[in-house]
Structure 1
Amino acid sequence: MAASTGNAFDFKLFKRLLEYTNAYKWTFYFVGVAAVLLSFFAVLRPYLLQVTIDNSIVPQDNDQLIFYISLMGGILMLEVIFQFLFIYFANWLGQEVIRDIRVNLFEHMLEFKMKYFDNSAVGRLVTRAVSDIETIASIFSQGLFMIISDLLKMIVVLGFMFYQSWKLTLLVLLILPFILYATRVFQKKMKLAFEEVRTQVANLNTFVQERITGMKIVQLFTREEREYEKFKEINDKHRKGWIKTVWYNSIFFPIAEMSTSITIGLIVWYGGLRVMAGSEAITLGVIVAFIELSQMLFRPLRQIADKFNTLQMGMVAANRVFGILDTKASIADNGTLEIDHLKGEIEFENVHFGYIEKEEVLKGISFKAQEGETVAIVGATGAGKSTIINLLNRSYEIWDGRILIDGVDTKDITLRSLRSQIAIVLQDVFLFADTILNNITLNHPEITKETVVQAAKDIGVHEFISSLPGGYDYNVKERGVMLSSGQRQLIAFLRAYVSNPSILVLDEATSSVDSYSEQLIQDATDKITQGRTSIVIAHRLATVKKADKILVMDAGKIVEMGTHHELLQKTDGYYKKLYEVQFMQEEETL
């Protein structure tokens, strides 16, 4: 991501942003032409006012007055029409551009590896994808074209003023350098201020999103007062960021207004003297026209500064969004082999991996699962069990070694086809705020409701789902809060089952579920593991006993391997001790 600087404008970034308008170039051109026409319409009004005063009001010619008033009305109507078209299509273009950018951003984030999300605040990413991109739209609707229109208007106005009276024009230009300097300083200060504002907005979004998500923990540990104080602190920083922008506006705009008033005073003073002296070059109509023209010259300057604020905010937002688009955090998908079915033979060859550089989690893991086998992984917390299942579908890149499926390195298989053949049920089940049916199918077009219902009957969860209000159309709300942890896990089992995977990976934790749900989960596990290779992080003795092979892990290594019976035969074996601590009491209650 580009570093923040005090430079007033980043043309390289702006050029990149304009590339998104290529698909709508005719609209872009039309808005540009409309901006040019509006600048000429703007000059016509004071000119007609000048002619009306000098040719009809001063000589008291009623017919001429009616003619000029009618002409001014027609010009005004044309200006209104083009103003409407200009504003509408400038806003339309902005919305089309941000739609395309948002689609590109979301598509890019979908390819990020899990490590990126592990290290990135969700609230910050939401800010980039929603509010920052919406801010970019203002570049087109209120920034770029408005500034171009104002600049053209100023050029045309200045040219016309010189044509009418170079002496009055020089009087007006005496004040112009001062306003230009103030505008330049204002732009630089506002860019830095708006960067700080966007940073504080992201911090505020992140804090609020995390605390709302974790409100249960906040309340259970009575941290309301502390979190309230932290929120006030972050919110105060956000307020200070905005106050800084208000401070700069409070200084600039009164200065600009005062400069305009001084200019009008000079025009009236000098022009009035010339009229009273009988000058033919400067008339009453010219003075009135110059008062309006000077307003047209200075008002765009004030508006340009204001619109430049909008442009700067959009550019800061664009810089942040492009920073994510430029992030290379996706898993390298260089595989060329497309697969539609796997036998399910899995082999880890001396696999080394860690989530953080120089902090190794797996230290040379090697094992093999034959086709159709169920391999249970047991071990203490932090031994590396979950890491093994995270690596199988390439959610993370291994440091060294190889992972083979059916004798093929997983790096040689396309990511999409690899992941389509592997279903994973995690301990922490995530459900979307949607119906049960959509959470099971994930809107897969080839998985029908009839298929889901039959699958639910097969693994014994149809009765549970049918008992809910609306059955399969029951909305589970955000993260599935309307269901118990056991029910959420049953939905996850059904989601895995209907995808008909060649390989199944289960983290079958049941520590927080009731006995009825646990029995349903056990039955579901038995059903969906039939006939396919399964890797299970085992938390229940029944799963361990049924496994064809047990991997016993400790501190990132496989310390023992074998069947339940074989491992119990090892005197002072790690598994035997683990069994006595974790599983023996469970066996006694069976």
Structure 2
Amino acid sequence: MNWQQKLNEVNLDQAQAFPGQLTAYLEKTIRSETPKLAVSTDLNLSGRFEEQWIVVTDTSIHVLQQPTPEDKVRMKSWSLAIVRKVDIKNYYGVGSVELITADGAIELLRFTLRFRQRFYRFADYLQKILREEQFSVDEAVHQSDGESMYGENRCPNCGTPFRRGTTTCPKCSKKTETFRRLLGYLQPYRWKVALMLLTTLIYTVLTLVPPYLQKIMIDDVIRRSRLDYLRWIVLIIFGSSLLSALFQGLRSYQLAWLGQKIVYDLRSRVYAHLQSLGLAYYDKRQTGAIMNRVTGDTSSIQNFIVSGIQETIVQIFTLVAITIILFVQDWQLALIVLLPTPFIFFGTKIFGKRIHKLYHRIWRRRSNMSAVLGGAIPGIKVVKAFTQERYETERFQEALEDYFHEEVRAIKYRSTFFPLISLATSIGAVLIWGYGGYRVIAVRDISLGTLTAFIGYMWRFYQPITTLSHLNEQYEGAITAAERVFEILDHQSEFRQVKSAQKAAPVRGEIVFRHVSFYYEAGEEVLKDINLHIHDGELIGLVGSSGAGKSTLVNLIPRFYEATEGEILLDGVNIEDMDLNVLRSNIGVVLQEPYLFYGTIAENISYGRPSASLEEIVWAARAANAHKFIMKFPDGYDTLIGERGIGLSGGEKQRISIARAILKNPRILILDEATSSVDTETEKLIQEAIDRLVHNRTTIAIAHRLSTLKNAHRILVLDKGMIVEEGTHGELMKKENGTFRHLVEIQAEVARTNVV
């Protein structure tokens, strides 16, 4: 086996072969050593982006820098004999691997956090090498870390970052591909498209009849005073105009219907795909920006499909037909008509490139406006409470002003380009009048009727060119909008459905965490090596200071987020191998801030079970201590509540949320500080409802008021992402210096202070 094969065999990054130039260098310099491990990183020790390779052999560790054309390979080496252990440091957005020696720590390498898993494995394997343990860089490791040097979120061709969560390169993607993909939505309606094309062809032919009839009118009727022909010519012109109007209306209806249907399909698909995306997608995006894509961008696409495509087809048909007619009538005049077209063609291409970039900026400004609205309007109560109406108005005006300036830039482009197009066509018309008139008067090789018909066809020829140049702007706007919409559709679903998903077995509620760790993309670990066994029917309390990782831990169970490392088992089955709908249908969640939808109280209670009868809804409301206050409303369960539960108190919203969970009847219940934001009397009612709800279910309760966990089978105390204490309420209170006891004492002291 040669060195290249050896290095590729131990390479943790199988998506990228070990560089041949570095292989040749290593083969010359350390031929006697045996490679055990190789890995690439994307940062140098200065924190700048640079590809470096680390090779661990049976005796040494080597760090190699990729050479530039003007530079040679540079390598730094350390003997394994001086290394006592390996440590990983995590900073904001960056991590590092350190070698701990008798003289202190040596920083070996740095990496961006998207490669964190890779370097945890690297550190683990390096520790095994130090302990002289056997290991193999197996295929499973390669497949789980298939990242190139650019990373899985960068284009392999140019290195440009992908739009987050997509595999679409903004530089390498082509407008024609986007347009072709957009037209793919016409495929289900191909017969209607064929009928529309036939209608368009007939309409185009009918619009070409009048100029030819004008030629006959002048040469054969007026000049020869043939009144008997006049009546028929007028009737034919009127008939062709009537049929033209009829087919124009039919064509417009067909295109409008197709446009509406395609946008209907597109919006439905986009919204359905949004529902399939995980919470991580929404965590980093503004609601207004997402809404703008679903509504505003699809409207731009609709406008182009309804008016742009039909005009494009009509004008192209017209251009082809008129070009043939012009050359049949007189090839010399036809060439003069074509003179402005190269200028128009290249001018349109230049205009299209510039306006496309500008439309992207316009889209971002419009999206920013929507985001400001989407943030301020739902929070209008907070805005008014802090008298920030003027501030929010100024924020919106700033966003509006940015949008205005970008639109003005687009107007400047249009105001320059379109008059130049008109000037080019006017020059062609002047040349036709001059040269054609000369031939009618002096040369006399064409008739006045022929020149009149030619001029009529000339304007019909220039009109499509002018229209198409205008449509280019509309096309660029629609393509920009389509790119934004397809960006959502190309965003990979956070949770893929496994083909062998478990569906049949009923859920008992036993939950096991095995070495579970979790971190967000940029930041330290939120959960660190969690090992936990929750028996079915057990009530578990979670406590800890803010940011300890309580909510993150429970969010991993319904797979709102995926565990970064380790596995979570439900009844012995890895939750990643379970059907996502089955998993979540067995889990009920009651949040600290319950979310109610615009609709009736009954609709909100039955949200998890839309088919529930009124008797079942009332039963759930009674169990949640909500029935009495609901019946005080004149419309009872048919009372309409506003968005986010406007019109109800916090305790009332919470009890409806509990009723919703009771009606769902889940095997596993998650309570995320369900009583933290209510008064004492309401808390008692809610606590009674919760006591009924948790009966005979596996329950995990995050509690703000620690006294509410006295009945818990076990209480877990989290601190900095780790379980630091575990036991019953009484057992934990016996620990003099325990974290739980300390939290209880602080809470009691705060309560005494508030009373005083």
Task: Quickly name the TM-score band, shorter chain normalised.
Answer: over 0.9
Matches within 5 A, 1:459-498: 459-498=624-663
Contact 2:608–2:660 at 8 Å: present in 1 too?
Answer: no
Larger deviation, residues 149-158 vs 170-179: 170-179
Length-normalised TM-score, structure 2: 0.74
Shift of 1:541: 4.3
AA paired with 1:295? Answer: W
Length-normalised TM-score, structure 1: 0.94
**1:119-141: CA deviations, max 9, x gaps?**
12211111111111121122321
Is 2:702 the partner of 1:521?
A: no
Shift of 1:540: 2.9
Distance in 2 (alpha carbons) for counterparts of 1:412 and 1:181:
56
Is 2:377 the partner of 1:212?
A: yes
Contact 1:154–1:300 at 8 Å: present in 2 too?
Answer: yes
Contact 1:333–1:414 at 8 Å: present in 2 too?
Answer: yes
Contact 1:341–1:421 at 8 Å: present in 2 too?
Answer: no
CA RMSD of aligned residues (A): 2.2
Q: 1:364 to 1:469 in 2, by over 3 A?
A: farther
Of 548, 556, 561, which residue of structure 2 is paired with 1:391?
A: 556
Larger deviation, residues 516-525 vs 355-364: 355-364
Q: Structure 1: give runs of 5+ residues left out of the alignment.
A: none
Is 2:716 the partner of 1:551?
A: yes
Distance in 1 (alpha carbons) for counterparts of 2:567 and 2:345:
64
**1:227-271: CA deviations, max 9, x gaps?**
433322221111112112211221122223333333333333333
Q: 1:4 to 1:37 in 2, by over 3 A?
A: farther
Is 2:575 the partner of 1:410?
A: yes
Shift of 1:392: 0.9
Count how many residue pairs are aligned between Structure 1 and Structure 2: 587
Matches within 5 A, 1:7-86: 10-86=175-251
Larger deviation, residues 221-230 vs 82-91: 221-230
Q: 1:370 to 1:221 in 2, by over 3 A?
A: same
AA paired with 2:254? Answer: F
Contact 2:267–2:294 at 8 Å: present in 1 too?
Answer: yes
Distance in 1 (alpha carbons) for counterparts of 2:431 and 2:567:
82
Counterpart residue number, 1:158:
323
Shift of 1:148: 2.1
**1:8-53: CA deviations, max 9, x gaps?**
x721112212221110000111222223223322221111111112
Distance in 1 (alpha carbons) for counterparts of 2:181 and 2:287:
26
Matches within 5 A, 1:49-448: 49-277=214-442, 279=444, 281-334=445-498, 336-339=501-504, 341-357=506-522, 359-442=524-607, 444-448=609-613
Larger deviation, residues 180-189 vs 320-329: 180-189
Distance in 2 (alpha carbons) for counterparts of 1:290 and 1:180:
22
Shift of 1:161: 1.2
Which is richer in helix? 1
Distance in 2 (alpha carbons) for counterparts of 1:86 and 1:109:
34
Contact 2:301–2:482 at 8 Å: present in 1 too?
Answer: yes
Q: 1:142 to 1:236 in 2, by over 3 A?
A: same
Larger deviation, residues 476-485 vs 185-194: 185-194
Q: 1:428 to 1:259 in 2, by over 3 A?
A: same
Distance in 1 (alpha carbons) for counterparts of 2:388 and 2:562:
38
Contact 1:6–1:192 at 8 Å: present in 2 too?
Answer: no
Distance in 1 (alpha carbons) for counterparts of 2:588 and 2:406:
47
Larger deviation, residues 579-588 vs 20-29: 579-588
Distance in 2 (alpha carbons) for counterparts of 1:152 and 1:265:
25
Runs of 4+ deviating beyond 4 Å: 1-7, 583-589
Shift of 1:390: 0.6
Distance in 1 (alpha carbons) for counterparts of 2:326 and 2:750:
97
SS of the residue 2:548 aligns to: coil
Of 693, 705, 729, which residue of structure 2 is paired with 1:540?
A: 705
Distance in 2 (alpha carbons) for counterparts of 1:500 and 1:167:
84
Contact 1:541–1:583 at 8 Å: present in 2 too?
Answer: no
AA paired with 1:323? Answer: E
AA paired with 1:430? Answer: Y
AA paired with 2:720? Answer: A
**1:486-520: CA deviations, max 9, x gaps?**
11111110110000111111023434323332222
**1:190-235: CA deviations, max 9, x gaps?**
2222222112111111122112223333344444444433322221
AA paired with 1:455? Answer: A
Identical counterparts, % of pairs: 36
Distance in 2 (alpha carbons) for counterparts of 1:482 and 1:340:
42
Larger deviation, residues 329-338 vs 130-139: 329-338
Distance in 2 (alpha carbons) for counterparts of 1:230 and 1:436:
36
Contact 2:537–2:699 at 8 Å: present in 1 too?
Answer: yes
Distance in 2 (alpha carbons) for counterparts of 1:407 and 1:340:
11
Larger deviation, residues 312-321 vs 325-334: 325-334
Counterpart residue number, 2:88:
none
AA paired with 2:492? Answer: K
Larger deviation, residues 496-505 vs 172-181: 172-181
Shift of 1:68: 0.6
AA paired with 1:515? Answer: T
**1:52-99: CA deviations, max 9, x gaps?**
121112212111011011011111122112211211111211221121
Distance in 1 (alpha carbons) for counterparts of 2:221 and 2:509:
95
Contact 1:422–1:505 at 8 Å: present in 2 too?
Answer: yes
SS of the residue 1:361 aligns to: strand
AA paired with 1:160? Answer: I
Distance in 2 (alpha carbons) for counterparts of 1:317 and 1:227:
27
SS of the residue 1:350 aligns to: strand
Q: 1:585 to 1:14 in 2, by over 3 A?
A: closer
Contact 2:624–2:655 at 8 Å: present in 1 too?
Answer: no
AA paired with 1:503? Answer: I
Shift of 1:585: 6.9
Which is richer in strand? 2
AA paired with 1:426? Answer: L
AA paired with 1:297? Answer: F
Q: 1:193 to 1:275 in 2, by over 3 A?
A: same
Shift of 1:452: 0.4
SS of the residue 1:504 aligns to: strand
Distance in 1 (alpha carbons) for counterparts of 2:459 and 2:170:
35
Contact 2:603–2:610 at 8 Å: present in 1 too?
Answer: no
Contact 1:340–1:421 at 8 Å: present in 2 too?
Answer: no
Shift of 1:544: 0.9
Larger deviation, residues 175-184 vs 563-572: 175-184
